[in-house]
């Protein structure tokens, strides 16, 4: 078994994830795994980094596919006995003018952004080694969407005692409410992407709390963040940040020094803790 530290970035064949891998290749003292659901796109991305003189390793990972997640988990367990850095970056967003019915957008978006990310955490968090770092890429849109929720929902999402099961129940209810066209009446904002990212931010707060309760001595730091508005296939060419700039906050959180006792359980943008 290798004692080399290991970092894993989900959805990193392009966009912000690719830029996070590029930065980690330069700064992380260990093996860096670029992962992609499509091995062809993943290998191509690794080759692109190689041309820049950077050495990333590849492993397939489709966060929508539990088997794929478990195959990565078993690989990490066997080869490294765990992992040191996990960046949950993979995500999807329908374009504003997409005509796909809202209920379908809600189901598809929540499936990857919330349920897929949660499944990765369920399988990989137990493997994170002492002093490890976990970064969940959320969005400022989670904050604005929270502001668009009913007072009752806001209270639940800001609660310091909400459980993961309760959060899953709420995310499932959103999808069900969109199918019945009652989501607005039920206090939800009109954004599937926004609700999925509320899920990611709140999940991060819960996971950090669980680490405090169950693995305090392991000094693992887990946070959610917004990369900013970044020029990628998702956000388009008008966005203000380059992918490398978008990677800055996630990479800052992934490389917090081992003697840091925070941030932990926070939501950050531009390397600054934001009020949730």
Residues catalogued as catalytic? 193
Q: Does 37 bind ligand NAP (CB under 6 A)?
A: yes
**Nearest-angstrom CA–CA distance, 46 and 38:** 12
Q: How far is the CB of 64 from ligand NAP (least distance, A)?
A: 4
Instruction: Pick between residue 246 and residue 263 the one whose CB is nearest to ligand NAP.
Output: 246
Separation between Cα atoms, residue 202 and residue 4, nearest integer Å: 32
The size of the interface with ligand NAP (CB under 6 A), counted in residues, is 33
* Closest approach of ligand NAP to the CB of residue 154, in Å: 21
Q: Is 15 in the site for ligand NAP (CB under 6 A)?
A: yes
Residue 90 lies near ligand NAP (rule: CB under 6 A) = yes
Ramachandran category for residue 111: left, alpha or beta (phi over 0 → left; psi -120 to 50 → alpha): alpha
Q: How far, CA to CA in Å, does 84 sit from each of 146, 184, 204?
A: 31, 41, 17
Match 């499509």 to its residue by tokens: 38
**What tokens does 118 get?**
């949660």
Least Å distance, CB 268 to ligand NAP, is 12
Among 7, 8, 9, 11, binds ligand NAP (CB under 6 A): 11
User: Is residue 198 at the binding interface for ligand NAP, with CB under 6 A as the rule?
Assistant: no
DSSP of 33-100: EEEESSHHHHHHHHHHHHHTT---EEEE--TT-HHHHHHHHHHHHHHHSSEEEEEE-------TT--S
Residue 276 near residue 203, CB atoms below 8 Å: no
Identify which of residues 38 and 184 has a Cβ nearer to ligand NAP in the complex: 38
Phi, psi of 14 (to 5 degrees): -160, 180
What binding mask, one character per residue, do residues 106-125 give for ligand NAP by CB under 6 A, x or -?
A: ------x---x---------
What is d(CA 257, CA 241) in angstroms, rounded to the nearest whole number? Answer: 26
The 50-89 site mask, x for binding ligand NAP (CB under 6 A), equals -----------xxxx------------------------x
SS3 assignment, position 205: helix
Site residues for ligand NAP, 132-161, by CB under 6 A, read: 137, 139
Rule CB under 6 A: which of 238-257 touch ligand NAP? 239
104 scored as a contact of ligand NAP (CB under 6 A)? no
Judged by CB, which is closer to ligand NAP: 36, or 221? Answer: 36
191 binds ligand NAP (CB under 6 A): no
Looking at residue 218, the DSSP 8-state letter turns out to be G
User: Interface with ligand NAP by CB under 6 A: which residues?
Assistant: 10-11, 13-17, 36-38, 41, 61-64, 89-93, 112, 116, 137, 139, 226-227, 229-230, 232-235, 239
């Amino acid at each position: 078994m290798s004692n080399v530290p290991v970092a894993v970035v989900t959805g990193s064949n392009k966009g912000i994830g690719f830029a996070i891998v590029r930065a980690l290749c330069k700064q992380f003292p260990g093996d860096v795994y670029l992962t992609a659901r499509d091995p062809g796109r993943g290998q191509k991305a690794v080759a692109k980094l190689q041309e820049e003189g950077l050495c990333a390793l590849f492993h397939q990972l489709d966060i929508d596919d539990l088997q794929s997640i478990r195959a990565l988990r078993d690989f990490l367990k066997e080869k490294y006995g765990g992992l040191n850095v996990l960046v949950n970056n993979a995500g999807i967003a329908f374009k504003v003018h997409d005509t796909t019915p809202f209920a379908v957008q809600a189901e598809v978006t929540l499936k990857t952004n919330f349920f897929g990310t949660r499944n990765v955490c369920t399988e990989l968090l137990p493997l994170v080694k002492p002093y490890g770092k976990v970064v969940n890429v959320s969005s400022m849109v989670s904050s604005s969407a929270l502001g668009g929720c009913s007072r009752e929902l806001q209270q639940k999402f800001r609660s310091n005692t909400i459980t993961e099961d309760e959060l899953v129940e709420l995310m499932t209810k959103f999808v069900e409410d969109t199918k019945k066209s009652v989501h607005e009446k039920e206090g939800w904002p009109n954004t599937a992407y926004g609700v999925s990212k509320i899920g990611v931010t709140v999940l991060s707060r819960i996971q950090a709390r669980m680490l405090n309760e169950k693995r305090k001595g392991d000094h693992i730091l887990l946070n959610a963040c917004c990369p900013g508005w970044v020029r990628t296939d998702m956000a388009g060419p008008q966005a203000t940040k380059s992918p490398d700039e978008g990677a800055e906050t996630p990479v800052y959180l992934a490389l917090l020094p081992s003697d840091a006792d925070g941030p932990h359980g926070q939501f950050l943008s531009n390397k600054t803790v934001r009020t949730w």
